[in-house]
């Protein structure tokens, strides 16, 4: 094959981008606005464990305007103001309940938070980040109801397909829990995104490529990839200092090559929302990719796909 006209996603890319996924729905750019609604996590409060996952420091991923001291509406308006200043070609906004486990609360509390968000002008939908063990039947019933009122996506933190890894990082659930939760969302017609981390201790690129078939079997609509970043002050930082050989670190070139291989095996109808994470350098315990902008990661992946003549789903088979 030559050129890019043959690709099914309609934007000339060699992979199904989340932008293409959203533009097909809204006819233009839709921007996610993270909010912090003050949730906690069953892996912190003693229900599943204490201390959280070994890699987690949630504030490293939150924009500065995200704080539960502010109301949901206030956080959303500040986010809109920022993006209007940088990009005026936005069709609408998604309220992204991001920090910690955003279904870990009674239904009536969730209903009030989501109602407040949807009452903000130009909010066209809601994305909820959560754990697979925070999706009980009452929560699922409510989410199905919410999905009938607005565009809803539930983003499930899977992180790894390997139970030994999930135990090692103190995740508090196994892969079967993720499979069940995502299956339940699908059965109720609720859009689902999945989050995976490449670089968790004890894992390597060969294993991640072996596990693609497990990822492809999940009935989801889109996915985020993050390269592991060691965050200062976490349990994982101590583990890394004691056992650095257990961790696989990528250069940008190596990561682009790996993602190219991974995409070739990935189901072609799964939209890719992110290739990598971006944490402010002040939080990271290793040099990592300091100074590398996310756009440079995307460019490196796209150039590698083009060089290899590869594309998402090239090697995928049912």
pLDDT band at 64 (very low <50, low <70, confident <90, very high): low
Check whether 117 has a pLDDT greater than 70.
yes
pLDDT band at 42 (very low <50, low <70, confident <90, very high): confident
Any idea where the domains of the chain sit in the sequence? 18-308
Whose CA is closest to 117, among 98, 91, 140, 144?
98
Q: How far apart are CA 46 and CA 155, in angstroms?
A: 23
Mean per-residue pLDDT over the chain, rounded: 91
Range 134-146 average pLDDT: 97
Range 120-138 average pLDDT: 97
How far is residue 159 from each of residues 9, 191, 192, 244, measured CA to CA in Å? Answer: 26, 18, 15, 20
Contact 272, 223 (CB under 8 A): yes
Whose CA is closest to 25, among 189, 266, 271, 294?
271
18-308: CATH class: alpha beta
Range 176-204 average pLDDT: 97
Instruction: Please tell me the number of Cα atoms within 13 Å of 63 on its side-chain side.
Output: 17
Query: Which of 82-96, 179-193, 269-283 is predicted with the least confidence, judged by mean pLDDT?
Result: 82-96
pLDDT in tens, 272-287: 999 998 877 777 877 6
Q: What is the pLDDT of residue 83?
A: 84
Distance of CA 24 to the CA centre of its chain: 20
pLDDT band at 1 (very low <50, low <70, confident <90, very high): very low
DSSP state of 139: H
Check whether 238 has a pLDDT greater than 70.
yes
Q: What is the pLDDT of residue 248?
A: 93
Dihedral angle over CA of 295, 67, 74, 114, nearest 10? 90
Q: How far apart are CA 102 and CA 135, in angstroms?
A: 10
């Amino acid at each position: 094959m030559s050129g890019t006209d043959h690709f099914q996603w309609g934007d000339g890319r060699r992979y199904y981008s989340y932008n293409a996924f959203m533009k097909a729905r809204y006819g233009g750019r839709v921007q996610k606005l993270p909010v912090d609604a003050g949730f906690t996590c069953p892996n912190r409060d003693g229900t599943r464990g204490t201390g959280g996952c070994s890699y987690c420091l949630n504030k490293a991923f939150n924009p500065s305007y995200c704080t539960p001291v502010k109301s949901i509406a206030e956080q959303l308006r500040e986010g809109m103001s920022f993006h209007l200043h940088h990009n005026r070609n936005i069709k609408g906004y998604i309220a992204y309940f991001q920090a910690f486990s955003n279904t870990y609360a009674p239904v009536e509390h969730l209903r009030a938070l989501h109602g407040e968000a949807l009452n903000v002008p130009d909010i066209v939908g809601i994305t909820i980040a959560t754990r697979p063990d925070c999706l009980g039947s009452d929560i699922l019933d409510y989410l199905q109801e919410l999905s009938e009122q607005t565009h809803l996506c539930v983003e499930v933190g899977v992180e790894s397909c390997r139970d030994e890894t999930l135990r090692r990082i103190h995740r508090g659930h196994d892969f079967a829990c993720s499979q069940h939760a995502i299956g339940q969302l699908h059965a109720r017609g609720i859009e689902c995104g999945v989050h995976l981390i490449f670089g968790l201790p004890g894992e390597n690129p060969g294993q991640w490529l072996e596990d693609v078939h497990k990822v492809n079997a999940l009935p989801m609509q889109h996915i985020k990839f993050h390269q592991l970043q060691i965050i200062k002050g976490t349990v994982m930082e101590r583990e890394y200092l004691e056992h650095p050989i257990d961790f696989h670190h990528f250069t940008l070139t190596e990561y682009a090559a790996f993602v190219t291989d991974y995409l070739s095996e990935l189901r072609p109808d799964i939209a890719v929302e992110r290739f990598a994470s971006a944490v402010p350098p002040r939080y990271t315990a290793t040099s990592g990719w300091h100074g590398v902008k996310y756009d440079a990661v995307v460019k490196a992946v796209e150039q590698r796909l083009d060089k290899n003549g590869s594309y998402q789903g090239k090697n995928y088979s049912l």
